[in-house]
Amino acid sequence: MERLLREHAPGLRVLGLDDVTAYDEPVEDQPTFEGNALLKARAGFDVTGLPSLADDSGLCVDALNGMPGVLSARWSGPPKDDDRNNDLLLAQLADVPDERRTARFACAVVLCHAGGVEVVHGEMRGRVIREKRGSGGFGYDVLFVADENATDQGGDGRTSAELTPQEKDAISHRGRALREIAPTVAAVLSGAGAPS
């Protein structure tokens, strides 16, 4: 976020959870990404009094009716485990032909501040491949090839886990949402309020 805000608010310091007094984070029990992001942003604002930005995101697989969706991090049950989640997803899609393995990463980013609440959404479409590849990123990145990287679209077929952080930011659901909300964050922090 700090890197994305530089063009809108040079010198701005973004604080993370480790930079504020510890508090109990809310249970993410909402049925939507936006609902969970709103819970987290409101909690941060209520505890710190500072404008708070939070996101929630996950992988929505068409052949699984949009699942794992908001359950992405806990798809294989507690505790959260990326390897188990990926293995379960591969098993669930084992008999699904390649052309039906379409999916999208979805993200909601919420800014909660004294003047109100701002919400943006981001999306990255692609497909789930049949084997894990790459060591970057996290979660389902090792199984996901974005449409922009698909070989049938002129791409090189790299998974999100094989991209550099800058390459991933340029096309990712989270990168798109953060770029969209960055001017609003800068306006709120400069005291100008959210742009209308």
What does pTM read for this prediction? 0.90
Measured between its terminal Cα atoms, the distance across the chain in Å is 22
Query: Is 56 labeled as ligand-binding?
Result: yes
State how far the Cα of 15 lies from the Cα of 5, in Å rounded to an integer: 13
Pairing, β 52-61 against β 116-128: unpaired
Average pLDDT along the chain? 92
What's the pLDDT score for residue 37? Answer: 98
H-state helical runs in the chain: 2-5, 33-48, 82-92, 165-171, 173-189
What would the pLDDT profile of 146-166 be if each residue is shown by its tens digit?
Answer: 999 998 888 899 999 999 988
Please say whether the dihedral angle defined by the alpha carbons of residues 82, 83, 89 and 93, taken in this order, is positive or negative.
positive
Q: Is 138 annotated as a binding residue?
A: yes
57 is in an annotated binding site: yes
Distance between CA atoms of 43 and 165, rounded to whole angstroms?
29
Q: Which domains does the chain have, with CATH numbers?
A: 2-22+32-189 (3.90.950.10)
In this predicted structure, the answer to whether residue 196 has a pLDDT above a threshold of 60 is no
Which residue is associated with the tokens 């591969």? 90
What is the total residue count of the chain? 196
Run of H or E residues at 146: strand 144-146
Which residues belong to the active site? 56
Q: What is the mean pLDDT of residues 168-185?
A: 93
